[in-house]
Amino acid sequence: MKVSREQMAENRRRILDVASGLFKDRGFDAVSVAEVMKAAGLTHGGFYGHFSSKDDLVARTLAHALGTNSVGEGSFNDLARAYLTPRHRDNPARGCPTAGLADATRHQTPAAKAAMTDGLRTQIALVEHALVEDGTPDARRAAIGSWAACVGALILSRAINDQELSDEILDQTRAWIESRTGLAVSADLTDNVTFPDGP
């Protein structure tokens, strides 16, 4: 039976959503095409109706993940509150694709790197806009520095086995951003803000 165009689009979106979570949780190399298709509830054979190769899947997953509310809307205060938390740290599959995939992307194809570049440009622009709205001086510099601090802190907090130090990295990065932007970014009230798949 022929699959409708709408069903094909839905299947493709489901594959990209599933691949995004698996890649963020385990990395590109540790996840096979067969695992992605199984987790999406589709047959392995159907993969090539959507993607030409795993490299194509990686590039398109990055574009999809980074293009679906990677930063979110609202104040930078709200963003930093939700971003720099143990809850976000402990749920990489449902968290920020930049923190989950940036380092691994350096080993990927030019198309994957282009998707990461486009996504990062958009994220910086959204943070800059939020900081302009918040009245932060030199918003472009503050956006790049603060976003890099957020992403870096999350990566470092996940990479170590010392819970106390991991929490301290998140806490002190929030405090540093507050000192640089003049915003209050306490870790309270994080339930209202979500990232691509909701940390």
Task: Break the chain into its structural domains and give their ranges.
Answer: 5-66, 71-181
Fold of 5-66: Arc Repressor Mutant, subunit A (1.10.10)
Between 68 and 165, the higher pLDDT residue:
165
- Pick from 93, 108, 52, 98: nearest CA to 198: 93
> Is residue 48 over pLDDT 70?
yes
What band does 28 get if pLDDT is binned at 50, 70 and 90?
very high
- What pLDDT, on a 0 to 100 scale, did the predictor assign at position 91? 95
CATH level 2 (architecture), domain 71-181: Orthogonal Bundle (1.10)
Q: Which residue's entry shows tokens 């392995």?
A: 44
Give me the chain's average pLDDT, please. 87
Tens digits of per-residue pLDDT, 127-157? 999 899 888 889 999 999 999 999 999 999 9
- Average pLDDT estimate for 162-167: 98
- What does the alpha-carbon distance between residue 72 and residue 193 come to, in Å, rounded to a whole number? 8
Fold: same for 5-66 and 71-181: no
Enumerate residues 6+ apart whose C-beta is below 8 A from 171: 84, 187
- What pLDDT, on a 0 to 100 scale, did the predictor assign at position 118? 95
118: left (phi over 0), alpha (psi -120 to 50) or beta: alpha
Q: Residue 127 has which token pair?
A: 């943070």
Question: Model pTM greater than 0.75?
Answer: yes
